[in-house]
Amino acid sequence: MQPLNPHLPVDNHGYYGRFGGAYIPEILHSNIEHLEKAYRRWADDPEFKAEYDRLLRDYVGRPSPLYRADRLSEKYATNIYLKREDLNHTGAHKINNAIASALLAKRMGKTRIIAETGAGQHGVATATVCALMGLECHVYMGATDVARQKPNVERMKMLGAEVIPVTSGNSTLKDATNEAIRDWCCNPRDTFYIIGSTVGPHPYPEMVAKFQSVISEEMLRQVPELTGKELPDYVVACIGGGSNAAGAFYHFIDKPGVKLIAVEAAGKGTDTSETAASIAVGTEGIIHGSRTMLMQDDDGQIIEPYSISAGLDYPGVGPLHAFLADSGRVEVEAATDLEALDAAYELTRLEGIIPALESAHAMAILQKRRFGADDIVVINLSGRGDKDLATYLANRK
């Protein structure tokens, strides 16, 4: 079989070097097989693409602008451009993937959608497309996150979704993902599982990366238009499971002149036990169906992650990013809670943009790296900060 993604370093079994694959219980094999078949059948189908593109344009509001942040550029003596995924309908990049996945679910004849969510952004995006397409929607969410992301919980409910609080483990994203997988095992016939990031068993990481690749596809046009340079010098994105980074990097992975930087959540610091920097402190293992870098103890037990940002509070990372980091193609940095808060206040005060806490980790690169006066630095602003106002105010500057 021809690999569907000439842009990704992935083989037909979903391996990125030694990372990836599909480590799943027997009971899920046929689900995964059907999904992969449908994905291969439809992802590049002209009629599917036309429907997806129309919704991206008229419903999500794409293309998202590439905005030159003048005051920030002046302060850091470089050229900073923000890819405004925060302006998408529902406030983050998650909707790009949710729409394409729901279109696929409909073509597979599925009527029931399940999803996991951390900060609630993926849950809201999924509940939104389910309302749009008349699909039943159940969202698994850690009880801790239900408490700290109340506005998103209320949005999901208003959209008609059932929100199921999960109380196992740390009651956060990892635990919600476990429950969603369990649900999928029990309801293979009618249920489509929309995963919110480039994680999970093959074909999810590849599929979600492709459904987010519109981000860098637009940059390919926008960068020359705005800067006169063919390509950016740097593309920077925060990384939880890795979907906004995958979308922002996708069309640049095979262009070595473009430096790619992923920023993980260091939490209270990568030298403390309260961190979510899975690449920095993790080791190789298997989580949620794929071999990747994850935070685990010597017995292979998952170490509970910590970040101030619910969307980055995940003990693993997608296999694509484990591979890109391992091969040196992507440089990985980690920003602490405090660095992210500083970056969020700075962006707000200099540009009038309140970023999501997750995206603030990408913005923190400006405190960590010095860029050249001629460099074009594109930072993917993955989402807006409305959902995080309570946290920002509690840490007021």
Residues taking part in catalysis: 94, 116, 382
CB of 107 to ligand PLP, least distance (A): 24
Instruction: Please report whether residue 307 would count as binding ligand PLP according to CB under 6 A.
Output: no
Q: Which two tokens stand for residue 378?
A: 């594109």
Q: Nearer Cβ to ligand PLP, position 14 or 196?
A: 196
Nearer to ligand PLP, 79 or 149 (CB): 149
* Residue 179-208 contact track with ligand PLP, rule CB under 6 A, x = bound: ------------------x-----------
- Give me the long-range contacts of 344-347 (CB less than 8 A, separation at least 24): 344/385, 344/388, 344/392, 345/392, 345/397, 346/72, 347/69, 347/72
Size of the site for ligand PLP (CB under 6 A): 21
Position of minimal CB gap to ligand PLP: 383
Determine contact, residues 285/300, Cβ cutoff 8 Å: yes
Q: Is 238 in the site for ligand PLP (CB under 6 A)?
A: yes
Applying CB under 6 A, does 358 fall inside the site for ligand PLP? yes
Query: Which residues are CB-neighbours of 41 under 8 A, at least 6 positions away?
Result: 107
Looking at this protein, which amino acid is placed at residue 345? Answer: Y
Q: What single-letter DSSP state applies at residue 384?
A: B
**Using the rule CB under 6 A, is 241 a contact of ligand PLP?**
yes
280 vs 153: CA distance, rounded Å: 31
- The dihedral sign for the CA sequence 1, 100, 254, 223: positive
In whole angstroms, the minimum distance from the beta carbon of 205 to ligand PLP comes to 10
Q: In Å, how far are 9, 25, 118, 151 from 147, measured between CA atoms? A: 39, 32, 11, 10
Task: Assess 356 for contact with ligand PLP (CB under 6 A).
Answer: yes
**3-class state of residue 239 by DSSP:** coil
Per CB under 6 A, 213 contacts ligand PLP: no
**Nearest alpha-carbon partner for 212 in 381, 317, 99, 363:** 99
CB of 190 to ligand PLP, least distance (A): 26
Among 62, 94, 110, 291, binds ligand PLP (CB under 6 A): 94
Q: Are 247 and 213 in contact (CB under 8 A)?
A: yes
- Which of the residues 73 through 92 are near ligand PLP (CB under 6 A)? 92
Residue 359 touches ligand PLP, criterion: CB under 6 A: yes
382 binds ligand PLP (CB under 6 A): yes
Q: Residue 239 or residue 260: which is nearer to ligand PLP going by CB?
A: 239
| Residue 239 makes contact with ligand PLP by CB under 6 A | yes
Q: What is the dihedral of CA 292, 294, 296, 298, to 10 degrees?
A: 40
- Tell me which stretch binds ligand PLP (CB under 6 A): 21-29, 45-53, 150-158, 353-361: 353-361
In the bound state with ligand PLP, the residue whose beta carbon lies nearer, of 55 and 356, is 356
Pairing verdict, β 15-16 and 19-20: antiparallel
Residue 239 vs residues 145, 232, 380, 381: alpha-carbon distances, Å: 18, 19, 11, 12
| Choices 7-15, 268-276, 351-359, 369-377; region in contact with ligand PLP by CB under 6 A | 351-359
Give the interface with ligand PLP as residue ranges (CB under 6 A).
92, 94, 119, 121-122, 197, 238-245, 311-312, 356, 358-359, 382-383
